[in-house]
């Protein structure tokens, strides 16, 4: 698939030009951009043991570990749990509402800007970058960038600025991350909490999957300089945020499972053996039908290369919303 011609124009309109390059290390490890809560009737069910966060690292970056790769068993457990929650929910008569159809679901968003100090280098990004990120989410999930329109829209409720050197940088899986989220997270299962700052291990972001019970860890963490107008070269048009919110709404990577098995559990994303980097047009790593979905938001390509969700992904996100996050 080719790039949508006006994609770059759409993303940089009204955004400051990038003048600083994000330093990248030289050893590639084959990973790049990435990427938990329901009702009483489900209490007898056992949730998947997987607590992995889906993460995203820079091209050429060195991560201590790859926390976002799920094993086939972990995927089977997650899919079985989703089916069990939907079945239990279908039997209930005390829900405030039935399943949400393909109407617009407006998700309230609380953004926490984590800072070391009051300088830009210390994480103090302007409100304009946060507002631009919300705009990118709305364009991406509405299909305005060229993909399928999903049911989701996003409304910024609050920007919460926190200066705390103990939480900066944000270290994935650390006690400091847990302390930060436990202290700051707001809202219920349907409120998206986004944490912005400098991140550990060359990561661009990570996110939690939805699960039956709300956890204080629920939410999305994104490198602040990956927002529109940031300094993260090739990753500064806001699509790290789009990618991680996709995980928060229950999407796997397009390369989940490689060329075999159920892959990402979405039928209209062609199988892909491994993450795609940069923008390798025509890349085809599996013998099954279709070239690699390099323009999909759930791959690892540059922001300028990705622009779409598929109809199957839109349906999967809505199904998961009804199972885990709907009131």
CA distances (Å), origin 140, targets 25, 31, 54, 62, 221: 30, 23, 19, 29, 18
Question: Can you tell me which residue has the tokens 């290369």?
Answer: 305
Q: Which of 43, 244, 272, 278 is catalytic?
A: 244
Q: Given CA atoms 113, 115, 118, 123 in this order, what sign does their dihedral have?
A: negative
- Residue 310 DSSP one-character state: -
- Residue 41 DSSP one-character state: G
Q: Which is nearest to 33 in space by CA: 230, 243, 247, 300?
A: 300
In sequence order, what are the residues at sequence separation of 6 or more whose Cβ sits closer than 8 angstroms to the Cβ of residue 113?
123, 124, 125, 130, 159, 160, 161, 162, 196, 197, 224
Across the beta sheet with 220-223, the strand order is 54-57, 203-207, 220-223, 192-197, 105-115, 152-163
In sequence order, what are the residues at sequence separation of 6 or more whose Cβ sits closer than 8 angstroms to the Cβ of residue 239?
33, 136, 140, 297, 303, 306
The number of helices, as runs of H, and strands, as runs of E, in the chain is: 6, 6
- DSSP structure string for 78-96: HHHHHHHHHHHHHH-S--S
Active-site residue 177, yes or no? no
Which residues have a catalytic role annotated? 244
């Amino acid at each position: 698939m080719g790039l949508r011609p006006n994609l770059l124009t759409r993303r940089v309109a009204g955004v400051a030009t990038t003048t600083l390059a994000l330093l990248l290390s030289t050893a590639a490890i084959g990973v790049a951009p990435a990427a938990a809560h329901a009702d009483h009737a489900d209490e007898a069910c056992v949730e998947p043991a997987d607590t992995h966060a889906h993460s995203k690292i820079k091209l050429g970056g060195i991560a201590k570990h790859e926390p976002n790769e799920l094993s086939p068993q972990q995927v089977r457990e997650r899919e079985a749990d989703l089916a069990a929650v939907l079945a239990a929910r279908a039997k209930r008569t005390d829900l405030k509402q039935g399943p949400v159809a393909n109407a617009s679901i407006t998700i309230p968003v609380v953004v926490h800007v984590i800072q070391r100090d009051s300088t830009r280098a210390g994480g103090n990004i302007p409100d304009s970058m946060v507002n631009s990120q919300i705009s990118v989410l709305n364009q991406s999930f509405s299909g305005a960038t060229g993909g399928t329109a999903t049911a989701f829209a996003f409304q910024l409720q609050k920007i919460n600025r926190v200066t705390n050197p103990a939480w900066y940088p944000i270290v994935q899986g650390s006690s400091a991350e847990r302390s930060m989220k436990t202290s700051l997270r707001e809202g219920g299962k349907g409120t998206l909490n986004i944490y912005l700052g400098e991140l550990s291990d060359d990561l661009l972001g990570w996110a939690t999957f939805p699960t039956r019970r709300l956890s204080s860890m629920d939410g999305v963490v994104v490198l602040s300089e990956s927002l529109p107008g940031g300094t993260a070269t090739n990753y500064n048009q806001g699509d790290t945020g789009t990618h991680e919110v996709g995980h928060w709404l229950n999407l796997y990577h397009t390369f989940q499972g490689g060329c075999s098995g159920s892959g990402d559990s979405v039928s209209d994303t062609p199988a892909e053996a491994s993450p795609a980097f940069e923008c390798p047009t025509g890349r085809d790593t599996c013998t099954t039908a279709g070239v690699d979905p390099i323009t999909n938001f759930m791959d690892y390509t540059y922001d300028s290369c990705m622009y779409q969700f598929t109809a199957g992904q839109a349906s999967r996100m809505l199904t998961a919303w009804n199972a885990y996050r709907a009131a």
